[in-house]
């Protein structure tokens, strides 16, 4: 089976793309054939894996604009071993609000992807639009990164309302893995206060192992390689390894990935 993980938050700048890139790279490091689908038209997830779609490239956004998507032409091998990218169209102006909510799910479950990849990571846009709905409808599980700031916490609350709407109408077996604190410094009182508030609201079991503040995670995007290639001994890379161990051990994913 192909396991599909959506990385979501209604607020931008909360570490979604950093998490998508580094989890995909960590899956690849474990020799797990992985596909990262870049649904955010900024295209930053592809950039973090050394992939920039040229102007006439086939992209995932063709799926939402009425075009034919040729997967053989669209899938691009990234700089990370065992990781491919289905890139974003940086000129994409928005999906038809009436587009099929199952379009992405059908694409992922079709043999061209399902027979080739054991894991799919979805980097989603922050807006509540057909792309986010498609991502949640296609995912087996969702994960919400959060920076320790009140506005990011509010983005998670908004996402949870969308999540439960999709889970009760479109995808009843969708699993909300939990909230991932990123860019955290536990010596900062406000950081601790925000994380404690989220734990009270959702329950401590919904807090995932945190990703500490690490400038090398940002620098790796400038180098257009995942952090595990740019700075393999950095604390950010070590934290994403711990997170992946947690996902595999605690979410019974061993048989899937």
Within-domain flag for 255:
no
Within-domain flag for 158:
yes
Within-domain flag for 103:
yes
What was the pLDDT predicted at 254? 47
Q: What pLDDT digit, counting tens, does each position of 151-205 carry?
A: 767 767 887 888 888 889 889 888 888 899 999 888 888 888 888 888 888 888 8
CA proximity to 24, closest of 78, 93, 100: 78
Within-domain flag for 182:
yes
Print burial letters for 221-232: b (CB count within 10 Å at least 16), e (below 16): beebbbbbbbbe
Residue 253: pLDDT over 60: no
In this structure, are residues 216 and 234 in contact, taking their beta carbons and an 8 Å threshold? yes
Return the CATH number at 219: 3.40.50.300
Q: What pLDDT digit, counting tens, does each position of 83-120 carry?
A: 999 999 888 887 777 788 999 999 999 999 999 999 99
Mean pLDDT for all residues in the chain: 89
Expressed as residue numbers, the domain containing 171 is: 3-250
Residue 69: pLDDT over 70: yes
What was the pLDDT predicted at 256? 53
Band (pLDDT 50/70/90 cuts) for residue 251 is low
Within-domain flag for 100:
yes
Within-domain flag for 71:
yes
Within-domain flag for 47:
yes
Within-domain flag for 26:
yes
Number of domains in the chain: 1
Is the pTM here over 0.85, yes or no? yes
Band (pLDDT 50/70/90 cuts) for residue 5 is very high
């Amino acid at each position: 089976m192909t396991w599909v993980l959506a990385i979501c938050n209604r607020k931008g700048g909360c570490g979604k793309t950093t998490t998508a890139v580094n989890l995909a790279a960590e899956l690849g490091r474990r020799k797990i054939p992985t596909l990262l689908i870049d649904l955010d038209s900024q295209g930053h997830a592809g950039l973090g894996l050394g992939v920039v779609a040229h102007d006439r490239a086939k992209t995932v956004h063709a799926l939402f604009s009425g075009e034919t998507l040729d997967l053989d032409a669209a899938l691009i091998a990234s700089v990370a071993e065992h990781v491919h990218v289905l890139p974003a169209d940086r000129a994409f102006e928005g999906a038809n609000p009436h587009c099929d909510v199952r379009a992405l799910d059908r694409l992922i479950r079709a043999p061209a992807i399902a027979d080739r990849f054991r894991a799919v990571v979805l980097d989603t846009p922050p807006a509540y639009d057909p792309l986010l709905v498609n991502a949640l409808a296609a995912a087996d599980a969702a994960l919400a990164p959060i920076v320790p700031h009140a506005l990011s916490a509010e983005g998670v609350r908004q996402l949870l309302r969308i999540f439960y709407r999709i889970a009760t109408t479109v995808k009843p077996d969708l699993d909300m893995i939990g909230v991932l604190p990123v860019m955290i410094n536990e010596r900062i009182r406000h950081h601790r206060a925000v994380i404690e508030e989220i734990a009270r609201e959702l329950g401590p079991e919904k807090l995932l192992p945190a990703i500490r503040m690490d400038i090398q995670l940002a620098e790796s995007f400038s180098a257009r390689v995942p952090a595990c290639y740019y700075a393999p001994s950095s604390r950010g890379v070590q934290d994403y390894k711990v997170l992946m161990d947690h996902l595999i051990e605690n979410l019974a994913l061993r048989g899937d990935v």
